[in-house]
Amino acid sequence: MSPLETEHLAPDHAGVARAAALLNAGGLIAMPTETVYGLAADARNDLAVARIFEAKGRPRFNPLIVHVADAEAAKRYVIWSDLADQLAQAFWPGALTLVLPLRDDSGLSPLVTADLPTLAVRVPAHPLAHQLLARFDGPLAAPSANPSGKISPTTAEHVNAGLNGRIEGILDGGACPVGVESTILGLFDEPILLRPGGLPQEAIEACLGGPVKLHQSGDPLIAPGQMTSHYAPGATVRLNATDVAADELLLGFGKVDCALNLSEAGDLTEAAANLFHHLHALDAQGPRGIAVSPIPEVGLGRAINDRLRRAAAPR
């Protein structure tokens, strides 16, 4: 991607207003939270969310945490429960992420959830994050604001060192007081600790009045910080296709004759934004197979190919 001029935004009214304007325009903003800096984008905007993966060099479509202003906002996107209410009252705003069933009418990009039926959501405690969420007035998808695999950023300087020229702005809120990522708790048949983090397990168990189940290595992978499960359409998926059988539909890339095209211009960011939507749309037509044009194994193409290989895996 071409280098951007990353704006360094002060922690004041003007800085928050500028950050919200850039987010509304589909930009990426590093925002301070009490845990680590998050790389925020409009969680409803496919292209903006795809750019998170591109900017971070994220190796695959892991699900992302969505940050919201309060519990009432969270209820717009997830199926709420009494247990969620108990935990939110005890720990929000704060370093607890809850994983709950995704509402059918959430309106969020499927890239946010990695096409899973659940959503990771939290209310951050940092005052600047609160101000930005209020000014933006919408959900912000935000993994840590660092290149994938590198140390998480706890200052604006850390963010600048890793992402300068790849994102629109950095809202400088000083050092993050918690300094480790949020604790992730899945609320399914029973509470399960999916990732330890800034809220101790003991505090959660004290709130619930008993022990929580721990995620085991063989359990389904359903949250940020874990490898994503692969998407399995009803049709078989064939990769690197240069021809199409009579009972297949072609998912194209570049200038090819196809049923749907990820990006006629060969833009990998656009292709990532379209990937889940197009796979669903082709699968809904009921073909025996979906053939996929070759995707370059560079940049965001690595993430696209990783997702496609999972879709094509034997099952």
Residues in binding site for ATP: 58, 62, 118, 144, 152, 195, 231
User: Helix, strand, coil: what percent of the chain each, to 5?
Assistant: 30, 20, 50
Annotated binding residues for L-threonine, written as ranges, equal 35, 67, 122, 142, 182
Contacts of 72 (CB under 8 A, 6+ apart): none
**What is the maximum span of the chain, computed from C-alpha positions, in angstroms?**
60
**281, exposed or middle or buried, with CB in 10 Å at 0-12, 13-18, 19+?**
middle
- Contact predicate 170/30, CB 8 Å: yes
The conformation of residue 70, written as its DSSP 8-state character, comes to S
SS3 state at 76: coil
CA angle 149–94–106, rounded 5-degree value = 80
The pair phi, psi for residue 194, each rounded to 5°, is -90, -30
Annotated binding residues, written as ranges, equal 35, 58, 62, 67, 118, 122, 142, 144, 152, 182, 195, 231
Contacts of 87 (CB under 8 A, 6+ apart): 96, 98, 185, 187, 204, 207, 208
Structure-block tokens of residue 135: 């000014």
- Give me the residue label for tokens 């063989």: 218
